[in-house]
Chains A and B, each alone.
Chain A
Amino acid sequence: DTGVSQDPRHKITKRGQNVTFRCDPISEHNRLYWYRQTLGQGPEFLTYFQNEAQLEKSRLLSDRFSAERPKGSFSTLEIQRTEQGDSAMYLCASSLDRALGPAFFGQGTRLTVV
């Protein structure tokens, strides 16, 4: 499968714990995006990378959230001291270049904070 891969697909954690999600983009896609989606809403943009550089962060990305893409390939999204309000689907997408083509999404990681 050469699509965007996310791991894990589901995560249940206790409030206050840290969690980390991984995204493997489509090979050779230099842009990588993170989104969050809550029930009944469309996905909301969090941040994006061009290669290893994080170029944009949404105001939704609080200090407890951090994303990395150390070698310009896979990316991780970490949430520290999780809160119940962090419960959502976390989606990753990748694209070759904004002007040239669309972003393709993974299946997401469903986070439940109890």
Chain B
Amino acid sequence: DAKTTQPPSMDCAEGRAANLPCNHSTISGNEYVYWYRQIHSQGPQYIIHGLKNNETNEMASLIITEDRKSSTLILPHATLRDTAVYYCIVRVAGGGADGLTFGKGTHLIIQP
């Protein structure tokens, strides 16, 4: 079972910041938070990941709370092409099971 909880769907206006929340209250100290997205009929696309510090790249920013029990993915200026299902995943960075466990994600719809 997925170890994260996400809202099933969200809307955001084009040009505005999209803030996607994720709860991972049982996260362990050696588990990273990863975000992927999947546009219809395509393979998942890696967005960003982090352990405890906030991270930013050319696609998005990842804000992780101090207690690491939740995080927010921020798309700073959403476009119509950002409409997709966004998956928040926790993943251990050392031995044991290696596969990503996807939940149902958040279907983000960018409105024109």
A contact set with B: CB distance below 8 Å: 4, 31, 33, 35, 41-46, 48, 55-56, 58, 91, 93, 98-99, 102-108
Contacts and interface: CB of A to CB of B under 8 A. Distances in A.
A13 to B, nearest CB: 19
Contact of A99 (B44, B85, B93, B97): B93
A48 B102 contact: no
B98 A107 contact: no
Contacts of B44: 43, 91, 93, 105
Contact of A45 (B45, B94, B100, B105): B100
Given A43-B44, A107-B42, A107-B43, A102 B102 contact: no
A102 B98 contact: no
B98 A43 contact: no
A35 to B, nearest CB: 8
A106 to B, nearest CB: 5
A93 B34 CA distance: 15
B101 interface: yes
B94 A42 contact: no
Nearest to A43: B102
A102 B49 contact: yes
Nearest to A40: B104
Interface of B: 2, 34, 36, 42-46, 49, 85, 87, 91, 93-94, 97-105
Given A98-B93, A99-B94, A102-B34, A48 B99 contact: yes
Given A56-B97, A102-B34, A42 B102 contact: yes
Given A42-B104, A105-B43, A58 B98 contact: no
Contacts of A102: 34, 46, 49
A106 B97 contact: no
Contacts of A55: 98
Nearest to B44: A105
Given A98-B93, A99-B94, A45 B101 contact: yes
Residue from B44, B91, B94 having most chain A Cβ neighbours under 10 A: B44
B91 to A, nearest CB: 8
25 contacts: A41-B104, A42-B85, A42-B87, A42-B103, A42-B105, A43-B102, A44-B102, A45-B99, A45-B101, A56-B98, A58-B99, A91-B43, A98-B98, A103-B46, A103-B100, A104-B46, A105-B43, A105-B44, A105-B45, A105-B46, A106-B43, A107-B42, A107-B43, A108-B42, A108-B43
